[in-house]
Amino acid sequence: MATRLEPTTSNDTGRRARGSATFNSTIGEYDYSNFFYSSSEDVFGIFPQFGDWYYGHAKNSGYYLFGQPMSTPPTPYISLEEQLGHEQVKLLNLASYNYLGLSYHPEVVAAAHAALDKYGLGAAGSPLLSGMMEIHDELEHELAKFKGADTAIVFPTGYSTNVGLISALMRPGDWIIMDQNSHASIVDGAILAKSNARFFRHNRADDLDRKLRDTSGRKLVVVEGVYSMDGDVAHLPEIVEVAKKHGARILIDEAHSGFVYGANGRGVAEHFNLEKEVDLFVGTFSKALGGMGGYVTGSEDLYIYLKGFARSRVFSCALSPVVAAGVLQALKIVQREPQLRARLWNNVAYMRKLLAAGGVDVGESTSHVIPVMIRNDRRVFAIAHELQRAGLYLQPIIYPAVAKHRSRFRISISSTYTTEQMDRAAEILIGVLRAEGVLSSEDAA
């Protein structure tokens, strides 16, 4: 294994300074979690030590791979500015959420252009006051129709959707029982609600039952359709059964599964034929629809209550009309062209076959989100660096985003990939994993 790929420079102390990759053991001593809690007399007291770690060790050891600015749409091939040499590189992209390729679809772009001409850039107001435009209204109606719900209410981001919904409905003394792998927006919603919060072991209905056993009063169970780090699907039938037994309401966040799962693309609840059993549906526009924003679907009563009490929506500017128009067009395409989902699932099957043939460990994934398990926190950055040098864009994911020794890369499959692109991606990936000793030729099926 290469421990140092290029000569080290010692002057990389500035944000834009050039540097070179140095994969050494120091990175293993600290991570982001070490710098969250500390006691000192100054609010800024942690900055010197954090800065020393970040610029002295972390950045050149691999953190530079996060947030590299792209100069293209999130198409199968992208260009981005590599963060050490600040050079443009062209990469085969398996990292974007753009599951149906809609972020750059010509009709979506045209709709956004038209909305820009009609409305200008921003909504210039809270949706509760002056920020609501015809395009928002149209989007909410189209979405409600698609989901088979009475209403849909749009939020400016997916994050603000869970935060606003949960904190609007739940109060101190209530119980929120979440899957331990819940997204930060769910956790932060529970924190803001000041309710009693518990976490059940991932996808374990038996542990949910244990966590609900001594609760009383108002209860909310929260799960996700597809979990974003492991790509596994909620065990919804068992979870619904337990939640109902304890009289708990059920919220499903279909951020990664909406517009992708189910016969009509309505999500994992549709996939399991449990839409009538689930009480609250959350989703985002930033994954399969390629835009941004989030939504809740439900009853008219829920709509008017959230309109008044979802503080993350009330006290934010409304979603840009430009984005709303693009998302609306994307939603129409999803309904008009079910073949996009069919193509996605064909691509998922094809890529899974390639990875299995190469002996790649994909963990528990059964979805279009496919982790490539490295299980070596010290080496994942060096492997990511080699992948990028070989022309493949994948984001490394390490502790504390995932458990220790569960480091990985996350593949997001898109319906837009050609078989040639997936062949090439798998060839690069398996080649690098073999060169780095993660795979051997014996691993191949």
Q: Which residues here bind other proteins, judged by CB under 8 A?
A: 29-30, 34-35, 37-40, 45-46, 49, 180, 187, 190-191, 196-199, 201, 403-406
For other proteins, give the closer residue by CB, 69 or 173.
173
Q: Of 105, 287, 368, 385, which residue is the catalytic one? A: 287
For other proteins, give the closer residue by CB, 199 or 295.
199
Please tell me the number of Cα atoms within 13 Å of 323 on its side-chain side.
Answer: 19
What is the Cα–Cα distance from 336 to 330, expressed in whole angstroms? 10
227 Cβ neighbours under 8 A, 6+ residues apart: 179, 181, 202, 233, 234, 256, 369
- Joined tokens for residue 224: 């996700």
Strands (DSSP E) contained in 213-354 are 219-224, 249-253, 280-284, 294-298
For other proteins, give the closer residue by CB, 319 or 397.
397
| DSSP H or E stretch at residue 80 | strand 77-81
- What minimum distance in Å lies between the beta carbon of 213 and other proteins? 10
- What minimum distance in Å lies between the beta carbon of 294 and other proteins? 21
- What minimum distance in Å lies between the beta carbon of 270 and other proteins? 30
- What minimum distance in Å lies between the beta carbon of 403 and other proteins? 4
Q: Is 353 a catalytic residue?
A: no
For other proteins, give the closer residue by CB, 24 or 75.
24
160 Cβ neighbours under 8 A, 6+ residues apart: 185, 294, 312, 313, 316
- Identify the burial level of 56 via C-beta atoms within 10 angstroms of its C-beta, where 0-12 means exposed, 13-18 middle and 19 or more buried: middle
Q: Nearest-CA neighbor of 35 among 56, 57, 51, 15?
A: 51
Q: Is 105 a catalytic residue?
A: no
> Tokens 């430009």 label which residue?
322
For other proteins, give the closer residue by CB, 187 or 306.
187
What is the Cα–Cα distance from 114 to 119, expressed in whole angstroms? 9
Q: Is 228 a catalytic residue?
A: yes
* Crossing angle of the two packed helices 158-169 and 184-193, in degrees rounded to 10: 30
- What minimum distance in Å lies between the beta carbon of 37 and other proteins? 4
For other proteins, give the closer residue by CB, 57 or 341.
57
- What minimum distance in Å lies between the beta carbon of 222 and other proteins? 12
Q: Of 228, 286, 320, 407, which residue is the catalytic one? A: 228
What is the Cα–Cα distance from 235 to 226, expressed in whole angstroms? 10
311 Cβ neighbours under 8 A, 6+ residues apart: 164, 167, 168
For other proteins, give the closer residue by CB, 210 or 434.
210
Q: Of 256, 271, 368, 385, which residue is the catalytic one? A: 256
- What minimum distance in Å lies between the beta carbon of 8 and other proteins? 21
> Tokens 């492991």 label which residue?
230
Q: CA–CA distance from 60 to each of 64, 83, 392 (Å)?
A: 6, 9, 19
Question: DSSP character for 212?
Answer: H
What is the Cα–Cα distance from 236 to 252, expressed in whole angstroms? 9
Q: Give catalytic residues, as residue numbers.
A: 228, 256, 287
